[in-house]
Structure 1
Amino acid sequence: MKLRQPLIYLGAVLISLFAISPFVWMVLTSMKPQSDIYSSPLSYFPTSLHTGGYTAMLNPHADDNVNFMKWFYNTVIVSLLTTVFSIVISALGGYSMSRFRYRGRMAIGYLILITQMLPGSLLIIPLYIIMKQYNLLNSHFGLVIAYSTVAIPFCTWMLKGYFDSVSSSIDEAAMVDGAGRWRTFASIIMPLTLPGLVVTAIFSFLTSWNEFLFAQTFLSDYGKWTLSVGIASFQGQYVVNWDYLMAGSVMTTLPIVIAFWALQKYLVSGMTAGAVK
């Protein structure tokens, strides 16, 4: 029994080191000169500090083939719009499935859930045809629609679970006091499910922030690329700019790490609440 707790701590430390080792390797590689990256045997720590990758990312005039800040701006816009659309639509859908009783309610819910069983690659061709018909190709709004089709079904079911955890008597009490359905939903139910909304928003944001396949297929202009497509362009057919690739990856990952750190209170409570439903 005395050895049990130290072994648990040791296991937790080893798992944590295993989890963060790719990120540490990415950071160290981003600061290595090319000679260290291709050295044999491979050195873990850089022999000299090299910041050329970060300079190229932050200075738009350093390299004509790199437009990191523009890609970053595009990714932020697309991710935020996807998050807003997903939260609004899935909140309304989840509340409807949770509170209203109508014919075909569960059938519609299961139909929404079935869409999560389809791989994203299966949706590329039909989405491409639809966007071509409505002139949405090579536009950020079209990309937002594509991302929303992936995020909304999952978010709808997740928020339905959170709405189910709020007693319907709260709705009835609010309406007895004179609040309408919309005010009850916006002013009472939504604040009570804030942890669930944060978790859902993070899922929607990450879905669009890290997505590559849709962005590469639907965006063709260099100036409209997102971060995932732009960073992938550093990997050429014969040469890989590892310093650019790793520096861009580090700078792409940092906003997500900061967001998780800032929202961890809501994230943990939301995941815990969802786990016991």
Structure 2
Amino acid sequence: MRKPNRVLVYAAAVLVSLFAVAPFLWMILTSLKPQAEIYSKPLAYLPSRIHLSGYQDMLDPKADPSANFMVWFKNTAIVSVLTTVLSLAVSALGGYAMSRFRFRGRMSVGYVILLTQMLPGSLLIIPLYLIMKEYHLLNSYLGLVIAYATVAVPFCTWMLKGYFDSISPAIDEAASIDGAGRWTIFARVVLPLTLPGLVVTAVFSFLTSWNEFMFAQTFLSDYDKWTLSVGIASFQGQYVVNWDYLMAGSVLTTIPIVLAFWLLQKHLVSGMTAGAVK
């Protein structure tokens, strides 16, 4: 690559990076400012003094009972983990079946699953609400997990199908010759080979449930069952916005996601590029 072109590429990369990092920088700086300074210096100016009361009140329920961050964090963690486990279990079985079994209407079923990804979440709220009301699942973790899984499973199924397709069926045949049954082949032979794909799928399912707001706002009514997105949004009132609480809670909510990406980055990169050459 010629030097002028390289300079342009680097400059474009820096601009894109700044564009991506700027909102997070503004969020962190705003969380460290007192309320009065947030309005006088709303942009990403350095605070005149470090103001940590937003973090202290969010993490200490005695300081402000309305900022019940740890309860919301626990609720979100429970729902996200259950959604991830359910989505992985269903999508792994579905992806393996679509990859290995040949049955009438196989591709039609796959396209129907894929088409569900084109439906906006707002279109699913009313039917999901009626179904959960019928089965008494409103205002419960189980109902929210099922709602999140309906969004995550179709995408995860197609993603894992691609990973299963990249594994030669000869491996299944060799295990079958050795006396392994279909379930043993799936659980102990094929599934471990798709670890990068499972990690990417798990991260997608986890993020889908961790950051979701619309379903949680609609299906949860009890204050003690709110998730982080609903709880933090409650600090944005009609006339007053508690920006220090809002931004401090947003920073604390982002930390687990950053840690997850940092710990799993090796598997994420290999998972996103696995099978690319083939």
Shared fold (TM-score greater than 0.5)? yes
- Residue 192 of structure 1 is matched in structure 2 by 193
Go from structure 1 to structure 2 and tell me whether the alpha carbon gap of 1:119 and 1:276 turns closer, same or farther (over 3 Å shift): farther
Matched, 1:163 2:153: no
Q: What is the one-letter code of the residue matched to 2:90?
A: I
Residue correspondence of structure 1 range 120-159 to structure 2 within 5 A: 120-159=121-160
- Residue 229 of structure 2 is matched in structure 1 by 228
Could you report, residue by residue, the CA deviation over 1:200-219 in whole angstroms, capped at 9, with x for unpaired residues? 00000000000000000000
Q: What is the one-letter code of the residue matched to 1:234?
A: F
The answer as to whether partners of 1:71 and 1:230 remain within 8 angstroms in 2 is yes
Could you report, residue by residue, the CA deviation over 1:251-276 in whole angstroms, capped at 9, with x for unpaired residues? 00010011001101110111112655
The answer as to whether partners of 2:26 and 2:43 remain within 8 angstroms in 1 is no
Could you report, residue by residue, the CA deviation over 1:99-145 in whole angstroms, capped at 9, with x for unpaired residues? 00111111111111111111111111111011011110000110000
The answer as to whether partners of 1:36 and 1:42 remain within 8 angstroms in 2 is no
Q: Distance in 2 between matches of 1:67 and 1:258?
A: 22
Q: Distance in 2 between matches of 1:176 and 1:157?
A: 29
- Residue 47 of structure 1 is matched in structure 2 by 48
* 1:188, distance to aligned residue in structure 2 (A): 1.1
Go from structure 1 to structure 2 and tell me whether the alpha carbon gap of 1:275 and 1:127 turns closer, same or farther (over 3 Å shift): farther
Q: Distance in 2 between matches of 1:152 and 1:218?
A: 20
Residue correspondence of structure 1 range 171-186 to structure 2 within 5 A: 171-186=172-187
In the superposition, the TM-score normalised over structure 2's length comes to 0.97
* 1:179, distance to aligned residue in structure 2 (A): 1.1
Q: Secondary structure at the match of 2:183?
A: helix
Q: Distance in 1 between matches of 2:265 and 2:127?
A: 37
Detail structure 1 runs of 4+ shifted over 3 Å in the superposition.
Answer: 40-43, 274-277
Could you report, residue by residue, the CA deviation over 1:137-184 in whole angstroms, capped at 9, with x for unpaired residues? 000110000000000011001100000000000000011011111111
- Residue 80 of structure 2 is matched in structure 1 by 79
* 1:57, distance to aligned residue in structure 2 (A): 1.2
Greater shift in the superposed pair: 214-223 or 45-54? 45-54
The answer as to whether partners of 1:74 and 1:224 remain within 8 angstroms in 2 is yes
- Residue 31 of structure 1 is matched in structure 2 by 32
Q: Distance in 2 between matches of 1:163 and 1:231?
A: 40
The answer as to whether partners of 2:29 and 2:47 remain within 8 angstroms in 1 is yes
Q: What is the one-letter code of the residue matched to 1:24?
A: L
- Residue 244 of structure 1 is matched in structure 2 by 245
Q: What is the one-letter code of the residue matched to 1:270?
A: G
Q: Secondary structure at the match of 1:98?
A: helix
Q: What is the one-letter code of the residue matched to 1:178?
A: G
Q: What is the one-letter code of the residue matched to 2:18?
A: L
Once superposed, what is the RMSD of the aligned Cα atoms?
1.3
Q: What is the one-letter code of the residue matched to 2:74?
A: Y
* 1:40, distance to aligned residue in structure 2 (A): 5.5
Q: Percent identity?
A: 74
**Number of positions where the alignment pairs a residue of Structure 1 with one of Structure 2:** 277
The answer for unaligned runs of 5 or more in structure 1 is: none
Q: What is the one-letter code of the residue matched to 1:101?
A: R
The answer as to whether partners of 1:54 and 1:248 remain within 8 angstroms in 2 is yes
Go from structure 1 to structure 2 and tell me whether the alpha carbon gap of 1:151 and 1:276 turns closer, same or farther (over 3 Å shift): farther
Go from structure 1 to structure 2 and tell me whether the alpha carbon gap of 1:175 and 1:38 turns closer, same or farther (over 3 Å shift): same
Q: Secondary structure at the match of 2:136?
A: coil
Go from structure 1 to structure 2 and tell me whether the alpha carbon gap of 1:114 and 1:276 turns closer, same or farther (over 3 Å shift): farther
Q: Distance in 1 between matches of 2:113 and 2:96?
A: 14
